[in-house]
Amino acid sequence: MLFGVVTGPSIKIAEEEILSQLEWIDAVEFRLDLFIDLDLIQLKSLLKKLLIPTLFTLRRKDQGGGFAQSEKTRLQCIEELCQLQPDFFDLEYDILPSFRKKLFLSNPKIRFISSYHNFERFPKLDPVLCALFTPHAHFYKIAVHCSSSIEALQLLLLSKKHMNLITIGLGEKAQFTRLLAPILGMPFSYVALKSQTAPGQLILKELQLYRFSILNPTTAIYALLGDPIDTSLSPIVHNAVFSAQKRNALYCKIPCAKNELAECVNLIQQLPFKGLSITMPLKEKTAIITHSLQTSVNTLVINSKITSFNTDGIGAIQALEKKTTLSKKKIVLFGAGGVAQAIAREALEKEAFITFINRTREKAMQLAKIYRCRGGGVELFPCNYDIIINCTPNPDYIQSEWICPNCIAMDTVYQPHWTEFLKKAFLKNCKLIFGKELFINQAVQQQRLWGSSLSEIELEQLMDHKLLGFCDNACLSLM
């Protein structure tokens, strides 16, 4: 059940918000502690108009609410509100036990939620559960700040162990927990109709991107792991593909730092995830923890075990071969990260000659030894080559004098569409390959690995259409 959360400040404004979004929500939570002008007669009148379930919350300040008067006054208000007979009432876990019991027994038609909120830190969960579970409640809710994806995933696993438990991670790092609620069988989810009432709370437009209304316990989960990933367009293309196939699957974003990766993947395997995209700065470390034969990984398939792949290299080669054959071509890879290595591996298979050039000279030389090719720092410029590929998240660094006239220039960055590197290459009369093409190619290959029923051409066309208008805002990279 999806609750649309309304905050007032008046009943009239709340009514307008609810009626304008009625087709998208299953129920309404009235955050009455945030209302400035609360008229119980008007509220009763509005309840009669609504044909969907209602939830009342009168949260005190120390639990993240807005009710600033005394606890005695609040309890009196709660009793008055119960007389309006909402379908649900949210009461804090530590409210006076005798008061909770009294409400529970005297209002058999109201289903009570026992809730715990912590906006500052991630607490020890066992003591919280002990305090939360009471016989005088029908549902239980934990909403706590998560400083990492590990904490957020631990919270989700908790919901699997207990019936009628809602777990919500607060903050941007845990926003994905809100999307997974119906998949993990949680009875309730919450969405802001206008103003967020908790850090990381989703708005309706975001839920529509993720096809939230169709998510259920049989939905397969796919996700992007990396940091930063806030502006990634991967959810747009992958969820569009799932929608086109009418496939019961969700693609979300999980922020993950390098030092969290191993534990994050371990926890993910205990949840209904079927695949992962891996982006910067995790590709090389993912190869290590999955025992991959490759040095860089950007795709995981999860069944009874994890299988790792890299689609960056294949995607780049597909784009390049539309312009030229690669045999005997001299290719400069600017950068020494995961995407550079993936492209090098595939290009060497095509009998191209590779040179790694990196601002950190030692890293390029190390890769040159591994791939038995040439490598060094920017002192290798100017040099002769047929193709130059920017494999760093910062295309601005490549100087105009380093770009050979009339060569092929490719960027792995797909936002903005025209990077500074490609602008410089255009002035040198180069043939250009934009990052968007590589992004689509590698995403197509990921979908094929995840069992897409669409052909590569169908996937390309669909993704290209979905990206219209998006590829010109922030600077993103496949790195």
Is residue 86 left, alpha or beta, with left meaning phi > 0 and alpha meaning psi from -120 to 50?
beta
From the list 141, 173, 253, 329, the catalytic residue is 141
Q: Are the C-beta atoms of 157 and 186 separated by less than 8 Å?
A: no
From the list 194, 283, 436, 466, the catalytic residue is 283
Sign for the CA dihedral angle at 155, 196, 148, 263 comes to positive
Tokens of 59: 């949260």
- Alpha-carbon distance of 206 to 199, in angstroms, equals 15
Active site residue 117: yes
What letter does residue 373 receive in the DSSP assignment?
S
- Alpha-carbon distance of 278 to 299, in angstroms, equals 6
Angle at 142 between CA 136 and CA 144, to 5 degrees: 150
- Alpha-carbon distance of 136 to 158, in angstroms, equals 21
Active site residue 322: no
Amino acid of residue 187 = P
Residue 127 phi/psi, 5° resolution?
-60, -35
Question: Which DSSP helix (H) or strand (E) runs through 56?
Answer: strand 54-57
Active site residue 291: no
Q: Report cis status (omega within 30 of 0) of the bond before 382.
A: yes
Active site residues: 117, 141, 283
